[in-house]
Chains A and B, each alone.
Chain A
């Protein structure tokens, strides 16, 4: 019972107990944490009750994002079945092997797709009859929008809008990593990236969608 006392009741006690236990077992708490693969915060740990536990000697949490240059693909440890049924790929690896603005399908769900796109230089003008969305997962991007005089009335997925689509300029959006933009139905849009950038597009499978599962997936 005595040993459990610090664990009971308050959230503070739980946090403190964890730190104390770690620093007792090894000489250097920092080494101990690294050995465990634990990443802890330098900031005081704020709990729901607004009291804080000081953890000032511990390294901060590092959030790991991928990029064209740095990504570490995961893995499948198979027990039974086929690896290919999981259609496992890495969007940075896909983008690294793609031509600029090639719309490579990395997720397919009964006609809906997620496309991984390497944005580099200026794209063609695209348009769509339904909403689409784009997220930059690595790098900076400009998107210009046109209110089309003749918006596409039907058709699934992204379409080419022609070299000089007729419409009024709606403005532009600047995205950085982790930013998401709406690509509204009936508008034309064009991407511009001075440095290679990786995009995720949420849309419907369309004439520009490229499937090459055997090249990108774990087998």
Chain B
């Protein structure tokens, strides 16, 4: 996700790499374990294990390794994104744009009420460096955490090589529109995804008058999306002040449950996605929304959502990147939904 704050995160990252607390490789599984504040993170053949202290005892939570790595991949690639990135109903991160909360159970109604939850805040470069180190160590050869399950191999088993290429993909940071001189590139070099083989590949015709060469600009957005080599990864394709069009191609399940600190909008460009909507604070279900081509709807600022897409589909995610929005929603100055009628 190409946000202004994400660029800063990237720049600051190199300073924190030395601060990552990693163990030696486990003699049996071959994986390193990591510590981040009072959190302990480790993995075995099947699961990522997260441990934290609460009520004088050590608490723990397991997440299947494939789901965990898909979630970490998004959190890293998006620079912790907007608001809450729930890996599942227990564990996740909240972006404070410079600092990041890591929590276990804090946004689960039952665990929170029982007092067994835990939150710790970290400087963004430290948690980012630790997450990147986890991704590098725990992603085996043949597993691409950015791909849909039918496109890639297994995340399970003991340590077996790595897939640095897959987890170090260049992030698209668009200033105005892809394909403009000095802006992010088009995707002519990437192959068309197997599930978009029927998407037209012709580009628009641009006929600039003499003297205006390079000032008119158009490209095929659907062609561009058909060549996306990752799933569930909003990338900016047009910038109108702080209004960002961030389309992405979706297949299988959104690997995180996103609770935004602002309103965002979804416009389904092709096929179909089902969204599970829950309360942002305690996770209780609120709605299930089916979106088909042409449907547009708001994701209010007080919900969390997770999408399901059987066929790879094209989704326009529309964000307002204005910096002070979280405070304005939290203070009640702004209502959590966009319009009243």
Asked, given contacts A64-B293, A109-B320, whether A79 binds B286 with beta carbons under 8 Å apart, the answer is yes
Q: Are A61 and B311 in contact (CB under 8 A)?
A: yes
Q: A181–B295 contact, CB under 8 A?
A: no
Contact between A107 and B265, CB atoms less than 8 A apart: yes
Q: Please choose the segment from A25-33, A118-126, A196-204 that sits at the chain B interface, where 4 or more of its residues have CB less than 8 A away.
A: A196-204
Contact residue among A62, A86, A173 (Cβ-Cβ distance under 8 Å from B297): A86
The reply to whether the CB of A49 lies closer than 8 angstroms to some CB of chain B is yes
Indicate if the CB atoms of B218 and A181 lie closer than 8 Å: yes
With a CB–CB cut-off of 8 A, which chain B residues contact A83? Answer: 287
- B238 with A180: CB separation less than 8 A: yes
Known: A65-B269, A74-B292, A81-B286. 13 other contacts (CB 8 A): A9-B153, A43-B197, A65-B270, A74-B295, A79-B285, A88-B298, A90-B292, A91-B294, A107-B267, A131-B240, A145-B212, A170-B216, A184-B215
**A147 to chain B: closest CB distance in Å?**
7
Complex contact B197–A203 (CB within 8 A): no
Contacting residues, chain B, for A171 (C-beta < 8 A): 206-209, 212, 216
Cα of A47 to Cα of B150 in the assembled complex, Å: 9
The secondary-structure label for the interface of chain A is: mixed
The 8 A-B residue pairs with the shortest CB-CB distance, nearest first, are A178-B222, A66-B294, A66-B293, A85-B337, A112-B243, A213-B341, A88-B297, A181-B218
Given contacts A89-B295, A171-B206, A178-B222, contact A49 B197 (CB under 8 A): no
Q: Are A178 and B297 in contact (CB under 8 A)?
A: no
How many whole Å from B268's CB to the nearest CB in chain A? Answer: 7
Contact partners of A39 in chain B: CB under 8 A: 311
Assembly CA distance A204 to B243 (angstroms): 9
Number of chain A interface residues as a range: 35 or more
B254 within 8 Å of A by Cβ? no
- Footprint of A on B, CB under 8 Å? 142, 144, 147, 149-154, 156-157, 166, 176-177, 180, 191, 194-200, 202-209, 211-212, 215-223, 237-243, 245, 263-265, 267-272, 284-300, 310-312, 314, 318, 320, 322, 325, 334, 336-341
Q: Is the CB of A79 within 8 A of B320?
A: no
Q: Does A108 contact B (CB under 8 A)?
A: yes
Q: Are A73 and B295 in contact (CB under 8 A)?
A: yes
B200 touches A176 (CB 8 A): yes
- Roughly how many angstroms separate A213 CA and B265 CA in the complex, as a whole number? 15
Assess A87 versus B150: contact at CB under 8 Å? Given A74-B290, A92-B294.
no
A109-B263, A170-B209 given as contacts; is B239 within 8 A of A63 (CB)?
A: no
Q: Is A175 an interface residue when CB atoms closer than 8 A count as contact?
A: yes
Tell me how far the C-beta of B30 lies from the nearest C-beta in chain A, rounded to whole angstroms.
Answer: 16
Return chain B residues, CB-CB under 8 Å to A92: 293-294
With A61-B198, A204-B241 as known contacts, state yes or no: A11 contacts B152, CB within 8 Å. yes
Residue A166 at the B interface, CB < 8 A? Answer: no
- In whole angstroms, what is the CA distance A45 to B150 when docked? 9
- Kindly report which residue of chain A lies nearest to residue B241, judged by CB atoms: A130
12 A-B pairs whose Cβ atoms sit less than 8 Å apart in the complex = A39-B311, A48-B153, A63-B196, A63-B270, A74-B268, A80-B284, A80-B286, A87-B338, A109-B243, A147-B212, A168-B212, A171-B208
Within 8 Å CB of B191, what residues of A? 46
In the complex where A169-B209, A176-B202 touch, is A64 in contact with B341 (Cβ < 8 A)? no
Q: Which residues from chain A contact B180 at a C-beta distance below 8 Å? A: 182
Docked CA distance A47–B267 (Å)? 29
B270 and A64 within 8 A (CB): yes
B188 smallest CB distance to A (angstroms)? 15
Other-chain residue from A86, A178, A217 in contact with B200 (beta carbon distance below 8 A): A178
Partner of A86, one of B211, B242, B300: B300
Nearest-Cβ distance from residue B105 to partner chain A, whole angstroms: 22
CB distance from B302 to the nearest CB of A (A): 9
| Contact pattern, A 33-46, Cβ under 8 Å of B = 1, otherwise 0 | 00001110101011
CB-defined contacts of B196 to chain A, threshold 8 Å: 61, 63
